[in-house]
Structure 1
Amino acid sequence: MGNPGRLASKAALVTGAASGFGKAIAETYAREGARVAVVDIDSDGAKRVASEIDGAIAVTCDVSKRADVDAAVAAMLEAFGQLDVLVNNAGWCYRNQPSLDVDEDAYDRVFDVNVKSIYHFTHAAVPHWRASGGGVMINIGSTAGIRPRPGLTWYNASKAAVNLMSRSLAVELAPDMIRVNAIAPVLGETALMETFMGVPDTPENREKFMATIPLGRFSKPADIANAALYLASDEAEFLTGVVLEVDGGRTI
């Protein structure tokens, strides 16, 4: 018999899974035996990714809205009867610019999508986990919340909140056998790279930023997915409250 996979018998919900890090996490989890809910505000994108993953379901969800989040978890439980792993990956950022130029709507959105979404999913998932004997939450933070860059102050603050929320929830929920960890990626090769870089986004400016990463490259979706696989697996059963920097040494 072949290897059943590191996540065999588990069911995972991944937000922001229509592209980028989330798509890679969903695909990696499925490869390792998990049944996966591909959750995204982009309905067509979620359906496309789910159609390429055997047994996956697609769920349309605005993670900033409690009703959508509750419905996503309900759809997960209806489809699979369980929720073992929750990956809060969905995120948003405004274009790199002076902080005083960021309007209030953009400020609100970055905190609604990056931070309040975790509040909503915690309310939706924790009662189920308490009843079922435990679970795993993985939140995608950022090195921006550890070693911030100018022009992204409000985004940096939102990711610092994600990093700290993960550690605080880990302590609070440990008696329920609920593990909570975060992953802090460095700037990655995703659709948001141009947003993070700001204007001008030139090869020269990318090289300048890359020079601050000791291992000499940006992160790739597979880097984040592999870290998320480990944290979700039973191999990490004694890890909670960790903010795992997947950054090529950027935050040293």
Structure 2
Amino acid sequence: MEFKDKVVLITGAAGGIGLAAARKFAAEGAKLALVDLKRESLETAVGDIEGAVLIAADVSKEVDVEAYVAKTVEAFGRIDVFVNNAGINGDFKPIEEQSFENYSNVLLINVIGAAMGLKHVVKQMKVQGSGAIVNTASNGGLLGAPGMSAYVASKHALIGVNKSVALEVASTGIRVNAVCPSGVDTQMMRSIESNARKGEEAEARKQFEAAVPLGRYAEAEEIADLMLFLASDRASFITGAYYRIDGGGGAVSV
């Protein structure tokens, strides 16, 4: 019960990594505020987590971001851990086919939405004098990926935000770190597979998994385990870091 009575706020909590993190923090005794775009999705996914506060919010709108932070504090009085996880992959297309709207939307949600989450959560954590933040970046924030330039740009940017905010708050008792997963066996990968090879998704998966030295996608729970560690007191001297969790992909020479 490492997080017993700790207040944990998670965005993008209705599926994938966010849902896995919610279940793991709940098992460790945390009090949860769970955010996603639609309350109905949250109720379906995490309605069985006792005592969780479910909040519908659009992270691309600062008024919604400010509201989900305020609702969490209203319910629990503080925020001990922020899992800044909401994000989208956008269209999988070469640059000459990318639309202004797709680029704008991906950057708005993955960078500006995440930054606004940091803005309002940091305000609360400074009042408390403590807190741990885990941003969901990607190995796409460290590498290139053909056809995914909008997503890759957004995750490179988020790693920069992660580093900068960690330095800004280092003296205040707040730690800020990021996880950088490669492919995770979630709905987002189904979308990427479909975008890569429409109608041949199984073949796309084989190709993607073959590029991973461990030969498979990660499970969402494996990413959540790293998040829990970074949010815990065991990581008390870690801040401003970004951790690859990519099945050995970072060790491959180019």
The residue number in structure 2 matching 1:210 is 209
Match of 1:70 among 48, 52, 66: 66
Is residue 148 of structure 2 the alignment partner of residue 152 of structure 1? yes
Structure 1 counterpart of 2:244, which letter? Answer: E
The residue number in structure 2 matching 1:24 is 20
The residue number in structure 2 matching 1:226 is 225
Residue 246 of structure 1: CA displacement?
1.1
Tell me, yes or no, if the aligned pair for 2:7 and 2:81 is still in contact at 8 Å.
yes
* Structure 1: 5+ residue stretches without partners: none
Is residue 167 of structure 2 the alignment partner of residue 171 of structure 1? yes
Residue 165 of structure 1: CA displacement?
1.2
Residue 147 of structure 1: CA displacement?
1.8
Change in 2 beyond 3 A, CA 1:58/1:189: same
Per-residue CA distance 1:196-236 (angstroms, 9 max, x = gap): 23231432232222122111110111011101111111111
Matches of residues 1-252 of structure 1 in structure 2 within 5 Å? 5-197=1-193, 198-200=195-197, 201-252=200-251
* TM-score between the two structures when normalised by the length of structure 1: 0.95
SS of the equivalent of 1:49 reads: helix
Distance in 2 separating the partners of 1:199 and 1:117: 26
Tell me, yes or no, if the aligned pair for 2:19 and 2:46 is still in contact at 8 Å.
no
Tell me, yes or no, if the aligned pair for 2:133 and 2:177 is still in contact at 8 Å.
yes
SS of the equivalent of 2:249 reads: coil
* Structure 2: 5+ residue stretches without partners: none
Task: Report how many aligned residue pairs link the two structures.
Answer: 248
Tell me, yes or no, if the aligned pair for 1:215 and 1:248 is still in contact at 8 Å.
yes
* TM-score between the two structures when normalised by the length of structure 2: 0.94
Structure 2 counterpart of 1:122, which letter? Answer: L
- Of the structure 1 ranges 160-169 and 20-29, higher mean CA displacement relative to structure 2 is found in 160-169
Change in 2 beyond 3 A, CA 1:51/1:195: closer
Structure 2 counterpart of 1:19, which letter? Answer: G
Distance in 2 separating the partners of 1:117 and 1:228: 20
Q: Which runs of 4+ in 1 moved over 3 A?
A: none
Distance in 2 separating the partners of 1:196 and 1:115: 20
Per-residue CA distance 1:104-163 (angstroms, 9 max, x = gap): 111111011100012211221112111111111110000011122100011101001111
Residue 172 of structure 1: CA displacement?
1.5
Per-residue CA distance 1:70-109 (angstroms, 9 max, x = gap): 1101110111111011111100122321122121111111
Distance in 2 separating the partners of 1:109 and 1:169: 23
Tell me, yes or no, if the aligned pair for 1:20 and 1:190 is still in contact at 8 Å.
yes
Distance in 1 separating the partners of 2:35 and 2:181: 20
Change in 2 beyond 3 A, CA 1:49/1:57: farther
Distance in 2 separating the partners of 1:141 and 1:199: 21
Distance in 1 separating the partners of 2:23 and 2:217: 21
SS of the equivalent of 1:87 reads: strand
Distance in 2 separating the partners of 1:65 and 1:226: 29
Residue 241 of structure 1: CA displacement?
1.1
Tell me, yes or no, if the aligned pair for 2:18 and 2:85 is still in contact at 8 Å.
yes
Distance in 1 separating the partners of 2:37 and 2:135: 18
Residue 15 of structure 1: CA displacement?
0.3
